[in-house]
Amino acid sequence: QIHEADTTEDQSGATFDKRSPTWTALSRIAGLCNRAVFKAGQENISVSKRDTAGDASESALLKCIELSCGSVRKMRDRNPKVAEIPFNSTNKYQLSIHEREDSPQSHVLVMKGAPERILDRCSTILVQGKEIPLDKEMQDAFQNAYMELGGLGERVLGFCQLNLPSGKFPRGFKFDTDELNFPTEKLCFVGLMSMIDPPRAAVPDAVGKCRSAGIKVIMVTGDHPITAKAIAKGVGIISEGNETVEDIAARLNIPVSQVNPREAKACVVHGSDLKDMTSEQLDEILKNHTEIVFARTSPQQKLIIVEGCQRQVSGTGVQGQAGAGWVVWPGACKGFLLRSGCVFAGSDVSKQAADMILLDDNFASIVTGVEEGRLIFDNLKKSIAYTLTSNIPE
Nearest to 148 by CA among 114, 190, 117, 194: 194
Give residue 97's pLDDT.
96
Is the backbone of residue 50 left (phi > 0), alpha (psi -120 to 50) or beta? beta
What pLDDT is attached to residue 157? 95
> What is the rounded distance in angstroms from the CA atom of residue 327 to the CA atom of residue 208?
14
Q: Residue 351: what pLDDT? A: 61
User: Which pLDDT score is estimated for 299?
Assistant: 79
Q: What is the pTM of this model?
A: 0.77
**Which residues, at least 6 apart from 174, have a Cβ–Cβ distance to it below 8 Å?**
none
Round to whole Å and give the CA distance between 219 and 292. Answer: 7
Residues with pLDDT less than 70, the chain: 10-15, 313-355, 361, 394
Q: How far apart are the first and last CA of the chain?
A: 83
The confidence score (pLDDT) of residue 323 equals: 38
Residue in 32, 43, 132 with CA at minimum distance from that of residue 84: 32
d(CA 375, CA 379): 6
What pLDDT shows up at residue 26?
95
The answer to whether 148 touches 2, Cβ cutoff 8 Å, is yes
Residues 169-195 pLDDT 10s: 998 899 999 999 999 999 999 999 999
* Contact (Cβ atoms closer than 8 angstroms) between residue 67 and residue 59: no
Condensed to tens digits (0 to 9), the pLDDT of residues 293-303 reads 999 988 788 88
Domains of the chain, earliest start first: 21-195 (3.40.1110.10), 203-377 (3.40.50.1000)
Which amino acid, one-letter code, is at 17? D
Give the residue among 62, 55, 44, 109 at the shortest CA–CA distance from 82: 109
| Distance in angstroms (rounded) separating the CA atoms of residues 43 and 339 | 49
Rama region for 153: left / alpha / beta (φ>0; ψ in -120 to 50; rest): left
